[in-house]
Amino acid sequence: MGLKIYNTLNKTVEEFISTEENKAKMYTCGPTVYNFAHIGNLRTYIFEDVLKRVLEYNDYSVNHVMNITDVGHLQSDEDTGEDKMALGAKREQKSVLEIARYYEQAFLTDLEKLNIKPATVVCRATEHIEEIIELIKKLEEKGYTYIANNNVYFSIDKFDKYTEFANINIEELQAGNRVEVDDFKKNPLDFVLWFVNSKYDNHILQWESPWGTGFPGWHIECSAMAIKYLGEYLDIHCGGVDHIPVHHTNEIAQSEGALGHKWVNYWLHGEFLILDNGKMSKSSGEFLKLDRLIDNGYDPIVYRYYVLQSKYRKPLVFSYERMEDAKKSLASLKQKVKAIVEDTNLEEEINKEQIAIYKEEFKTHINDDLNIANGFTVLFKVIKDDNLNNKEKLTLIEDFDKVFALELTKVENKEEIDEEKVGWVEKLIDERTQARKNKDWAKSDEIRDMLLDSNIEILDTREGTSWNVKK
């Protein structure tokens, strides 16, 4: 069975057919680097990684481009509020570029911790101002723009299909006061391509342009960079569902306006991660980042596993209770795999037909609009199948793990544990030593159990406490 995916463009599940045989050109909207990513953002990047791995499982070579927004994203996606980057710089009393590079690195490190494959090209908005200006010039030549208050606007009334992608009902939006009135806009849904005059003066990053010194609006960067690196026809474009009504709608208007033809064949959107007590948002102060999960004793891969258990098109609720369940369930799965790894006779014969049947079954599920949960069902079936020898099981587990990326066959020993985990173990052991000094036996036991859950055994001797990875 070929790969089928839900296409937001046509609102149906469709067979994926790429423009070039065995090649997939994919663009994913990257982060605005003014703060850490929260685990909701990371859910979207995990979904995109799974999509990429499923494409690769289907023998596509994926050319993947992701942007880094380091200029021009105002607090709301509709061009209102302050520039997020400037806010970050003010908050931390650093320069905008210092903030941008710091959070970009933090973001890329998070992706690595989650076994998310790096994009083929990661590109920064500030390094593509020339391409952005060229694209705006093209839109201007074709009559899609107007200038008001010295800023360049995209006129959505010039792009007939504007409301189609997100089923936008302009009258309803206006009646519900969901669009802020900007007297300079001809239509309230018009958006800025180039700011010369922003409400907030002294924008730090500014460039010369035919319209005056200023900076680009947020949406135009994705069109400019996607076209530069992937050409005029894209196979796939992704992001979170929040991008459908504004950012992606605007990207389509700009790109198709400038190119004069359809731009992207498949649009895929990941649903939101929500907290059991409401929405996850960076503007509301405290938010959950990956390092917080690590500090609380969770390997980042447990979070990946958590996300993989649910369908990408359904909202997912996060709670520490469910995280605990995910941790136990992954530990038990890894324990089963470990038993197979340790009891595999590499000389054993493999029944290639049997392997092919299971691979096909697995592929049928993941190709059914990324039904990863059913992929896990096949994995468990393989583990339990008495007709398979351990070498066959291992071959299949390794194969499926190309999509899951949970390092299922990696048997940890102390030498192999990465530095970060060693640091985490040692920090907990110090805390436990302190608890024991304070005769806080409950806390001491709690820490020991927490380490055991992560497969770390501790041993108290007169010289102190030593630790080992459980065999």
User: Segment near Zn ion (CB under 5 A), from 22-30, 106-114, 134-142, 442-450?
Assistant: 22-30
* Residue of 97, 179, 280, 469 interacting with ligand AMP (CB under 6 A): 280
Point out which residues pair with 239 in neighbouring strands.
269
Site membership for ligand AMP, residue 375 (CB under 6 A): no
Site membership for Zn ion, residue 258 (CB under 5 A): no
Q: Which of residues 28-47 bind Zn ion (CB under 5 A)?
A: 29
41's tokens: 């953002």
Site membership for ligand AMP, residue 242 (CB under 6 A): yes
Q: Rounded distance, CA 471 to CA 126, Å?
A: 50
User: Segment near Zn ion (CB under 5 A), from 161-169, 218-226, 291-299, 403-411?
Assistant: 218-226
Three-state SS string over the chain comes to CCCEEEECCCCEEEECCCCECCEEEEEECCCECCCCCCHHHHHHHHHHHHHHHHHHHCCCEEEEEEEEECCCCECCCCCCCCEHHHHHHHHHCCCHHHHHHHHHHHHHHHHHHCCCCCCCEEEEHHHCHHHHHHHHHHHHHCCCEEEECCEEEECHHHCCCCCCCCCCCHHHHHHCCCCCCCCCCCCCCCEEEEECCCCCCCCCCCECCCCCCEEECHHHHHHHHHHHHHCCCEEEEEEEHHHHHHHHHHHHHHHHHHHCCCCEEEEEEECCEEECCECCCCCCCCCCCHHHHHHCCCCHHHHHHHHHCCCCCCCEEECHHHHHHHHHHHHHHHHHHHHHHHCCCCCCCCCHHHHHHHHHHHHHHHCECCCHHHHHHHHHHHHHCCCCCHHHHHHHHHHHHHHHCCCCCCCCCHHHCCHHHHHHHHHHHHHHHHHHHCCCHHHHHHHHHHHHHCCEEEEEECCEEEEEECC
* Residue of 8, 25, 40, 85 interacting with ligand AMP (CB under 6 A): 40
Contact 272, 240 (CB under 8 A): yes
Q: How far is the CB of 77 from ligand AMP (least distance, A)?
A: 8
Q: How far is the CB of 1 from ligand AMP (least distance, A)?
A: 28
Q: Rounded distance, CA 379 to CA 362, Å?
A: 8
Q: How far is the CB of 220 from ligand AMP (least distance, A)?
A: 15
Site membership for ligand AMP, residue 272 (CB under 6 A): yes
Residue among 173 and 241 whose Cβ is closer to ligand AMP: 241
Residue among 280 and 355 whose Cβ is closer to ligand AMP: 280
Q: How far is the CB of 29 from ligand AMP (least distance, A)?
A: 5
Kindly list the distances between the CA atom of residue 338 and the CA atoms of 343, 384, 414, 467, in Å, as whole numbers in the listed order: 8, 14, 15, 20
Residue among 68 and 340 whose Cβ is closer to ligand AMP: 68
User: Segment near ligand AMP (CB under 6 A), from 94-102, 172-180, 222-230, 267-275?
Assistant: 267-275
Site membership for ligand AMP, residue 273 (CB under 6 A): yes
Site membership for ligand AMP, residue 72 (CB under 6 A): no
User: Segment near ligand AMP (CB under 6 A), from 2-10, 269-277, 398-406, 455-463?
Assistant: 269-277
The footprint of Zn ion on this chain (CB under 5 A) covers a number of residues equal to: 2
Residue 222's binding partner among ligand AMP, Zn ion, none (Cβ under 5 to 8 angstroms by kind) is Zn ion
User: Segment near ligand AMP (CB under 6 A), from 8-16, 36-44, 403-411, 448-456?
Assistant: 36-44
User: Segment near ligand AMP (CB under 6 A), from 40-48, 109-117, 179-187, 330-338?
Assistant: 40-48
Site membership for ligand AMP, residue 217 (CB under 6 A): no
Residue among 67 and 145 whose Cβ is closer to ligand AMP: 67
Q: How far is the CB of 51 from ligand AMP (least distance, A)?
A: 13
Site membership for ligand AMP, residue 203 (CB under 6 A): no
Residue among 44 and 198 whose Cβ is closer to ligand AMP: 44
* Residue of 31, 216, 217, 300 interacting with ligand AMP (CB under 6 A): 31
* Residue of 62, 135, 222, 428 interacting with Zn ion (CB under 5 A): 222
In the complex, which residues of this chain contact ligand AMP (CB under 6 A)?
Answer: 29, 31-32, 40-41, 43-44, 239-240, 242-243, 270, 272-273, 280
State the residues that interact with Zn ion by CB under 5 A. 29, 222
